[in-house]
Amino acid sequence: MKSALRRRLATTGLLLGGSLLLVAFWSSSSSASPTAKTAAAAHVVNITANPYGALKYTTTKATTTAGKVEIVFTNKAPIEHDVVLSTTGGKILGKTPIFTGGKKSFTVTLKAGKYIWYCSVPGHRAAGMLGTLTVKS
């Protein structure tokens, strides 16, 4: 009776140990692959539209570091907007879709310098939906 219990405990211990090992293996391998994929994690730049429908972003300036940059645009306004990132010369480097509700993002690789972002919905940029992104080396 006692030994049966002991055996059962031993088996449970083995099972537990085994599954812990499995979990350890699983979590190490699952965390390893995304890390390898995004070897250099992108720097995130958050841009948010005025949530009350004014034709502006909540900020007109942002700063980040050269390399992979993820532009995350949040638009909780009832009006559709987008974020277009371009050089100061007007060359478009990336953009989100035009949308309302939630957030969309895109990733670009940027060198140090000045860039601009704006909303491409007709009239919005002229109304003030633009900002400056400074990228430091």
Q: How far is the CB of 25 from Cu ion (least distance, A)?
A: 48
Helix, coil or strand: residue 86: strand
Q: Which is nearer to Cu ion, 45 or 135 (CB)?
A: 45
User: Taking the chain, what is the end-to-end CA distance rounded to the nearest angstrom?
Assistant: 71
Cβ contacts of 26 within 8 Å, gap of 6 or more = none
Q: Which is nearer to Cu ion, 43 or 60 (CB)?
A: 60
- Asked if 56 is part of the footprint of Cu ion (rule: CB under 5 A), the reply reads no
With CB under 5 A as the contact rule, the residue among 47, 119, 130, 135 that binds Cu ion is 119
DSSP structure class, residue 96: P
Q: Name the segment binding Cu ion (CB under 5 A); options: 18-26, 31-39, 89-97, 120-128.
A: 120-128
Residue 71 in contact with residue 105, Cβ under 8 Å? yes
Residues that bind Cu ion (CB under 5 A): 81, 119, 121, 124, 129
